[in-house]
Structure 1
Amino acid sequence: MKVLLVDDYSATTDLLADVACSMGHAVTKAYSGADALVAAGGDGAFDFILLDIGLPDINGHELCLRLRASEKYASRRIFSMTAYDDIRERFDMSCFDGQILKPLSLEQFESLLSG
């Protein structure tokens, strides 16, 4: 499976990428919304995208809306990741397939990739 991981905190992104790679997935990392848009605009499409909501340039909600506007990502699995427990009060999260609260457990992440 092709996976895109987007988080400005590189330690989180790199750790999750290592886990996904160890499970046999092809992983692309992005540390900003702009980098994620460039990666998503490349050849093919990602099967699974995990977006941090609190990105410094484009918040993850806006990024998800931009991706969903493309036919390429209209039906792909996109999950949000955030430390904000009141995220549903801040944004309409219906563009996401699910929300994950930080800190994310490795078992939870592996389950997302498997399911």
Structure 2
Amino acid sequence: MKVLLVDDYRTSTDSLANVACSMGHAVTRAYTGLDALVAASGEGAFELILLDIGLPDINGHELCMRLRASEKYASRRIFSLTADEDVGERFDMSCFDGQLLKPLSLEEFESLLAG
């Protein structure tokens, strides 16, 4: 599966990428919203995207809305990733397929990757 991991906290992103790669997935990392948009505009489409809400340039909610506006990502699996349990009070999270809380457990991440 092609996976896009978007988080400005590089250690977390790299750790999740290592787990996904060890499970045989093709992983692209992005540390900013702009990097994610560039990666998403490339050839093919990611089948799973995890978006940190608190990115330094474009928040994850806005990024999700931009991705959903394209036919390419209108029906792909996109999950928010945040340490903020109250994120739903600030954003309409309906554009996401689900919300994941940091720190993300290894079991939860592996289950998500397994489909």
- Please give the range of the TM-score, normalised by the shorter of the 2 chains: over 0.9
| 1:53-112: CA deviation from partner (whole Å, max 9, x where unpaired) | 000000000000000000000000000000111011010000000000111011100000
Tell me by how many angstroms 1:31 deviates.
Answer: 0.2
Task: Please give the alpha-carbon distance, in whole angstroms, between the structure 2 residues aligned to 1:11 and 1:114.
Answer: 23
SS of 1:112's partner is: helix
Match of 2:51 in 1: 51
Match of 1:14 in 2: 14
Q: Unaligned 5+ residue runs, structure 2?
A: none
Aligned length: 115
Match of 1:90 in 2: 90
Match of 2:81 in 1: 81
SS of 2:104's partner is: coil
SS of 1:84's partner is: coil
Root-mean-square deviation (CA), in Å?
Answer: 0.4
Match of 1:114 in 2: 114
TM-score normalised by the chain length of structure 2: 0.99
Tell me by how many angstroms 1:4 deviates.
Answer: 0.1
Moved over 4 A (4+): none
Q: Kindly, what percent of the aligned residue pairs are identical?
A: 82
TM-score normalised by the chain length of structure 1: 0.99
| 1:32-62: CA deviation from partner (whole Å, max 9, x where unpaired) | 0000000000000000000000000000000
* One-letter identity of the residue aligned with 1:108: E
SS of 1:99's partner is: strand
